[in-house]
Structure 1
Amino acid sequence: MYKIEETTQLADRVHQIWIRAPHVAHHAQAGQFVIIRIDEQGERIPLTISGVNGDLVRVIFMAVGKTTHHLASLAAGEHVRDVAGPLGRPSEMISGGTCVVIGGGVGVASTPIIAKAAKDAGNHVIGIIGARNAGLLILEDEMRAVCDELFITTDDGSKGTHGFVSDVLKTLLAERKLDLVWVIGPAIMMKVTSGVTQPFGVKTFVSLNPIMVDGSGMCGSCRVIVGGETRFACVDGPEFDAHQVDFNSLMARQRVYTEEEKVALERHQAAHCGCEEGGNHHA
């Protein structure tokens, strides 16, 4: 069992938890993830490692489905059954260059640990973080502390640049030489933003989040198409060359279980409020 040491709600439906998991914290690197199972009958969910502090590992997530709502309801002092990791390949790093770390929405959760790794490797680090509005921005202070420059965008103009992260990236590409870019967020955002760097020939990584089950490459659930070949996000990624990713295939696979996820959440909420008989329901 793994103890939850701290929980914080960062924005609407966006939650941060610090879990005591020494075996993960002592080996975790930027870009890697963990798989969490809340209880013996629970669903296994992959979450990116967002930070490490001693024996503690941080994950940040949006409460969307049954399991993430359940995870968000846990308080400090409670426990989760499993924290498997660190899993996946660490971020590919350069040194002595200019790196841009971009996060959109809850994808910003992954940016501080990557930005810090890039900074520690001797790079000039530019951060770009965006959200629909100022109230949904997360980790601004943390990114400002680790980046040499930080740009903020909001869709509605309530903070920073009125527009998208891709707009700021376009300006930077026109003004200076960039050596490496990371883009992390919703699939459509990663597709559009990474497309901005392609004409400039700038190496760009995206962190993919397909459906995942075992995290060891055995089940094939997390298969993605990269460079025309099937790859497994859990062992070959989760970061891939953005210009080689088949985003249309990725987005189609992410929608496969939409109806089942909706039913599981409805049953969980009904059981939680006592509106439905029959005991516990699991995804």
Structure 2
Amino acid sequence: MWGFALITVFPFGLLLLTSIKSKEDLFRGAFVLPKYPHFENYVSAWVDGHFGIYFWNSIIVVIPVVVISVIIGLMTGFAFAFLSFPYKKAVFAVLTIGMMVPTEAFIIPLYYEMRYLGLLNSYGAMIIPQIAMSVPFATLFMASAMEQLPQEILEAAVLDGASRPLILRRVMIPLLKPAISTLCLFLFIWTWNEFLIPLILVNDDVYRTMPLGMLFFQGRYTVNTPVLTAGAVLVILPIIVVYLIFQRKFIEGLTAGATK
């Protein structure tokens, strides 16, 4: 485990080391420590590279995608787990197929649809499709988590006369906190790292997100490797911070149901 941990951490550590070097330090060797840290590389990336704008654009896109997808996933997951309705298996199969279709397969018709709706070069062009892409996984994930809950608790709530919304809100959601945290983490990472949809549907620099901004930033700072790596750290760092915050709940969500 220590070996795998070192293999995982080493590239990021090298990235951090490079990001605080000057060009002269970099020419001395990749593993040579700098005389003093050059944090101005981050300032240059944040201001000159417009990563300050890209960061807030990513936040504006990520928050509604995660929140709306989780809310819809809770409701649709409840329906698939406990309710009976016509064509339930067919709808379930459609959701499963939708998860397997790559973005490249529908990006061209999606472009024309967004253009018809007048949503190109807007936050809506990035938020709406990513919600649609996230809901199938959220539905299947929450349905699977709900089916693992103790049936006695749900039966007791029904016998006490609780309605379906009340059971979902007061009984199931508190029990599903680890699973919901895990789902939020997955959706955050996927949405934050989404590249193709912003690349095709957004051309204005005002609306670009962090991964897309990194592409154009790389083109401008190809010869300035320390500033370029500082920009890469700014893209990766929020994901690491969010994971560290939700780490305990994430592990609980993955191991829920493994023990009684």
Structure 2 length-normalised TM = 0.21
Structure with the largest fraction of helix: 2
Structure with the largest fraction of strand: 1
With CA pairs under 8 Å and 6+ residues apart, which has the higher RCO, 1 or 2? Answer: 2
Q: Which has the larger radius of gyration?
A: 2
